[in-house]
Structure 1
Amino acid sequence: MKTTRLLFVVLALVFSACEITVVEPRYDDRDQVVGSYRLEEYSQSWRVYSNFTINIRKVGTGYGSDEIRIENFYNAGITVMARVYGNSITIPLQYVNGYEVEGSASVYLNEISFTYRVRDTYTRSSPDYCQATAWF
């Protein structure tokens, strides 16, 4: 009888000391947009279509990181910084290699739809208002 009680107490202590912790990985909104895309751009200002490739890469790691960089933006060889929030991308006003850039985009399935404004600050030209669609 003492052996049964002792065994019961030992088992109770062993099983009560076990704790299962499930750690779920954090979903990174940027994962859905990272990659290389072919892009078709329409300049509303010049009424011209262009086709070129852009690359999107993550900037920073860890919890709270939401920045990406878009390489070959506007087919001008410039890299712009942007932030991803869910299915939305925000390109804040920035000056990169003589270009003033700002805009936004939305992500749906394997497509990113951009709307942005670019102005060449060296020539002081009028802003070029563009719409573009990027596909995987």
Structure 2
Amino acid sequence: MSSCDVWVVEVPYDSRDNFTGRFSVEEYSETYDLLTKYNVRILKDGDPHSSVVYIRNFYGIDVEVFAEVYGDRLTIPRQVIDGYVIQGTGRIDYGDVVLSYSVEDRLDNSGLVDFCNTVYFRR
């Protein structure tokens, strides 16, 4: 007689997987009353113990921001990139990513802060 051993390997759940991929974006600027469309890509940090994801082409200006994922929530901590001050929050909503954030262009002397509500639709 022979016997079989069954091995069950559990892969740890990574909530960042809900946020990664390629997305078509519809961004509404409350400040300028303007709807803008563009594409982004969200990638996980290489460290499997990290909560960080990177959003490429954020705000449609070809910059990359980092965000931290906690369950179905995302936080974009305050960061300054290429003269832009960026911060915000987001969540998963039926597979899409819904974000609210502010962008201040420090190179523009107007002092305006752009407040945006955005939906990232999975492509």
Identity %: 32
Distance 1:108 1:87 in 2: 9
Residue in structure 1 matched with residue 39 of structure 2 by the alignment: 53
Distance 1:22 1:65 in 2: 25
- TM-score (ref. length: structure 2): 0.89
Superposed CA deviations along residues 81-108 of structure 1, whole A, max 9, x for unmatched, are 0001100000000000110000000102
Aligned residue type for 1:74:
Y
Equivalent pairs, count: 117
Unaligned runs of 5+ in 1: 1-19
* 1:43-122 superposed matches below 5 A: 43-62=29-48, 64-122=49-107
Aligned residue type for 2:104:
R
Which protein is richer in helix relative to its size?
Answer: 1
Verify: 1:131 aligned to 2:120, yes or no. no
Structure number with higher relative contact order (C-alpha < 8 Å, ≥ 6 residues apart) = 2
Superposed CA deviations along residues 38-74 of structure 1, whole A, max 9, x for unmatched, are 0100000000000000100011222x31100000001
Residue in structure 2 matched with residue 12 of structure 1 by the alignment: none
Distance 2:33 2:115 in 1: 10
Deviation at 1:110, TM superposition (A): 1.8
Distance 1:72 1:61 in 2: 22
Q: Which protein is bigger by CA-based radius of gyration?
A: 1
Unaligned runs of 5+ in 2: 1-5
The secondary structure found in structure 2 opposite 1:133 is strand
